[in-house]
Structure 1
Amino acid sequence: MIFNAISDLFAAPPIPYEQILHLESRAPNLIVYAIPFMAFFTLLEMGVSWYENHKLYKVKESIGSTLVGLGNVLINLLLKIVLLYFFVWLYNVLPWRMALAWWTLIPCYILFDFCSYWAHRFSHSQRFLWSTHVVHHSAESYNLTVSFRLSWIQNIKIIFFLPVALCGFHPLVFFVVSQISVLFQFWVHTEYIKKLPRFFEYIFATPSNHRVHHGSQEKYLDKNFAATFIFWDRLFNTYQKEEEKPIYGLTTKIGNRLNPIYLNFHELNDIYKDVRRAKGWRKKWFYLFGSPVAVDKEKKSTG
C-alpha cells in the first residue's frame, strides 16, 4: 500500500503548456495579498516609534525602501509567467513528477530554505552576487520597511533553487513556498521583538538572530544567513548570537538614499569602475568576484 502511494505521488502526468495561463491564475500572489497587512504593521511600528521617540524611521530611507519593495513586486509579477513556463518545462521533463498535494509544501519548504541559506551565503562571499543583495543591507535603521528592500535583479540567483525544482515538486507548490519564505522574513526586521524563548531562537531565524545579520561590526559580518530555520547556521558554523547592539548598514555607508535606482545598482556601478581601473586580469577578477569584505578592505587601504 505504501509503495502504491509513493508510486502514485511520483507518477503525475505532465502539465500541458496550453494550461499554463490557467495554472498561473491558480498560483496565488500571496505577497500582493499580504501588502495591506504589512502596511498596517509597518504603520503601527512607525507610530509607536514616533510616540516613544525611538527614531527607528528615517523619512528618506523609509520611502526608498518602499519604492524598492514596490518595484520588486512589479518585476516579480511581470516575470511570473516566464518563470512559470520554465518550471513547467522542467517539471515535464522529469520522470519523477510529484502530483499536486499540499502536504508536499513541508518538505519543499525545508529544501527551499536550505537552498536559500546557500544562495544568501554566496551573496555575501562573492561580489557580483553581492550586487544583487546589497540593497537589503544599505539601510542604516532597522525596521519593518527594511524587509521591502529586495533587489530588482535578485532573480538571477534562481540557479540556487534548481535542486528544489529537480526534486519534482509541482510548480504551484514551488511558487507558494517561495512566497511564504519571503513573507516569513517580514516580521524579523524589527527592534521591538527582543529575544524569544530559547527553543524558538534555536530553530528559527528570529528578529534577534536577524539583527545580527544586519550588523556591520566585525563579529557580526557574514553571520546568520538563514531565512527561516537558523539551525542551518548552527550546522554550518555561521551562527552568531546577538550581544551588543548591532550597528546597521554597510561597512562603507552610502547615506540615507531615496533613489531606488541608485539603491539597486550602485554596487554594479562601483564594480564596473573598479574593474575598469584595475591593472591586470587577476586584479580585475578580484574586483568582480572577490569577497565584498576583502574588496572593501583593499579599497580602504589603497585610499
Structure 2
Amino acid sequence: MAKEKITFEQIVNLDLPNLIIIATPIMIFLVALEWLFSYKDKKDYYDGKDTLTATFIGLVNAGMSAAIKVVTFGIILFFYNLVPWAIPHTWWSYILCLFWLDFWRYVAHRIAHENRFWWATHVTHHNSKKYNWSVSFRLSWTQHIKIVFFIPVVLAGFHPVVFFIVHQLAVLYQFWIHTEYIKKLPKPIEFFFVTPSHHRVHHATNEQYLDKNYGSTFIIWDRIFGTFMEEKEQPIYGLTKQVDSYNPITLNFHEWSDIVKDVRKSKSLKEAYAMMFTRPSLLEGVKNEYKEKEKVKV
C-alpha cells in the first residue's frame, strides 16, 4: 500500500505550537535570575552589554524562524513526500527521531567548525568571552540554511509533525547546558548526555579543548567518533581570534565579510575555493602557503 502524501494545508491546519517562542519568556526570566545570583555571589559570569546583545540576537533569530516557517514546512514536506516509506506516527517514533536527529545535529555542528563557509553560520554563537544562559541566545541569523543537514531525518520517513516537535525540543535542550553554575553531574548522565561540563569544553579556546564535544543532546557521538574531551582545567571562552564588538551586525556577519574579502583577493579558483571552505583553524597556514607561491612566481 502506497504511503499517503501529506499536503501543506494539512500541516498548516494543525497549527503546531512554536515551543521556542513559548519558552522564550521563561528563558529570559532564568537568565535574569542567573545574572542576579552571579552578581550576589560576586562571580564574573555576566557582562551587561554582552547579555543585551545576545538577547537581541536571539529575539531577531526567533522572529526570523517564525517568518520563514512556511519555507521550512515546504522543504520538509517535499522530502517527506519524496520517499515511498514512512515511520508510523507513534510515541516511540519521537524517541527514535530524537536519536536520528541528534546524530545529524552532531554532523552539522562538526562541519560548522571544520569548514569555513559553515563556520560563518555558527561563529556568532562562540564570540562571547562569557559563559552563561544568555549565550544560548547567540544563534547566527544565517544559521537557517543548515536545514539541509536535517533532510536525511525526513528522508528516513519520520512524520513532519514528529520532526518539528523533536527539533524544537532539541534546540531548547541547548539552553540549560550554557552555565557555569552546574558542575559535573553523576557519571551515568555525563557518559550519555551532553552536560554543562561537556559544553563548557566546546566553548573553550584552551588548545586541548579546541574542536571537541560537538554533541547536541547526546555525548555518545563524540565518544564514538573520537571528538570527546573531559573538562579538566578552567575553560577560557571566546574565539582564538576575538572580535571585540557588541554590534549584532558585526557579530553575525564579520566572518562572511572576511570570506568575501579573501575570495576577492584570490589569484585562482583553487585559492578562492580554499578561502571559502578551508578548516578555520588551518586558514592562516593556507593563506601563508598561497602568499609564498605568489612570491615564487614573482
What interval of TM-score do these two structures reach, taking the shorter chain for normalisation?
A: over 0.9
Query: Is residue 249 of structure 1 aligned with residue 238 of structure 2?
Result: yes
Partner secondary structure for residue 12 of structure 2? helix
Q: 1:209 to 1:296 in 2, by over 3 A?
A: farther
State the distance in 2 between where 1:93 and 1:285 align. 32
Residue in structure 2 matching 1:182, options 147, 171, 177: 171
Measured after TM superposition, the shift of residue 157 of structure 1 is 1.4
- Equivalent residues of 1:215, 1:246 under 8 A apart: yes
Look up the equivalent residue of 2:260 and give its one-letter code. Answer: Y
State the distance in 2 between where 1:115 and 1:191 align. 27
Q: Which residue of 1 aligns with 2:13?
A: 22
Look up the equivalent residue of 2:107 and give its one-letter code. Answer: W
- Equivalent residues of 2:76, 2:151 under 8 A apart: no
Query: Is residue 283 of structure 1 aligned with residue 271 of structure 2?
Result: yes
Look up the equivalent residue of 2:57 and give its one-letter code. Answer: V
Q: Which residue of 2 aligns with 1:100?
A: 89
Deviation per residue, 1:57-94 (Å, 9 max, x gap): 11111111111101110111011122112222322232
Measured after TM superposition, the shift of residue 297 of structure 1 is 5.1
- Equivalent residues of 2:243, 2:251 under 8 A apart: no
- Equivalent residues of 2:136, 2:178 under 8 A apart: yes
Measured after TM superposition, the shift of residue 54 of structure 1 is 0.8
- Equivalent residues of 1:102, 1:173 under 8 A apart: no
Measured after TM superposition, the shift of residue 39 of structure 1 is 1.3
State the distance in 2 between where 1:260 and 1:102 align. 40
Measured after TM superposition, the shift of residue 17 of structure 1 is 3.5
Measured after TM superposition, the shift of residue 20 of structure 1 is 3.5
- Equivalent residues of 2:194, 2:216 under 8 A apart: yes
Q: Which residue of 2 aligns with 1:31?
A: 20
State the distance in 2 between where 1:86 and 1:79 align. 11
Residue in structure 2 matching 1:259, options 239, 247, 252: 247
Deviation per residue, 1:173-224 (Å, 9 max, x gap): 1001111111001001000000111111111110000000001111111000
- Equivalent residues of 2:79, 2:151 under 8 A apart: no
Query: Is residue 81 of structure 1 aligned with residue 70 of structure 2?
Result: yes
State the distance in 2 between where 1:46 and 1:297 align. 40
State the distance in 1 between where 2:269 and 2:29 align. 51
Q: Which residue of 1 aligns with 2:117?
A: 128
For structure 1, the 5+ residue unaligned runs are 1-6
Measured after TM superposition, the shift of residue 21 of structure 1 is 2.3
For structure 2, the 5+ residue unaligned runs are 292-298
Give the TM-score normalised by structure 2: 0.93
Look up the equivalent residue of 2:248 and give its one-letter code. Answer: P
Partner secondary structure for residue 68 of structure 2? helix
Give the TM-score normalised by structure 1: 0.91
State the distance in 1 between where 2:87 and 2:166 align. 15
Partner secondary structure for residue 186 of structure 1? helix
Partner secondary structure for residue 185 of structure 1? helix
Query: Is residue 116 of structure 1 aligned with residue 105 of structure 2?
Result: yes
Q: Which residue of 1 aligns with 2:201?
A: 212
Q: Which residue of 2 aligns with 1:295?
A: 283
Count of residue correspondences? 290
- Equivalent residues of 2:200, 2:235 under 8 A apart: yes
State the distance in 2 between where 1:259 and 1:300 align. 30
State the superposition RMSD in angstroms.
Answer: 1.8
- Equivalent residues of 2:98, 2:166 under 8 A apart: yes
Q: 1:297 to 1:45 in 2, by over 3 A?
A: farther
- Equivalent residues of 1:12, 1:98 under 8 A apart: no
Look up the equivalent residue of 1:247 and give its one-letter code. Answer: I
Deviation per residue, 1:230-250 (Å, 9 max, x gap): 010010000011111111000
- Equivalent residues of 1:49, 1:57 under 8 A apart: yes
Look up the equivalent residue of 2:13 and give its one-letter code. Answer: H
Q: Which residue of 2 aligns with 1:237?
A: 226
Look up the equivalent residue of 1:183 and give its one-letter code. Answer: L
Partner secondary structure for residue 176 of structure 2? coil
Look up the equivalent residue of 1:212 and give its one-letter code. Answer: V
State the distance in 1 between where 2:11 and 2:153 align. 20
Residue in structure 1 matching 2:127, options 138, 159, 162: 138
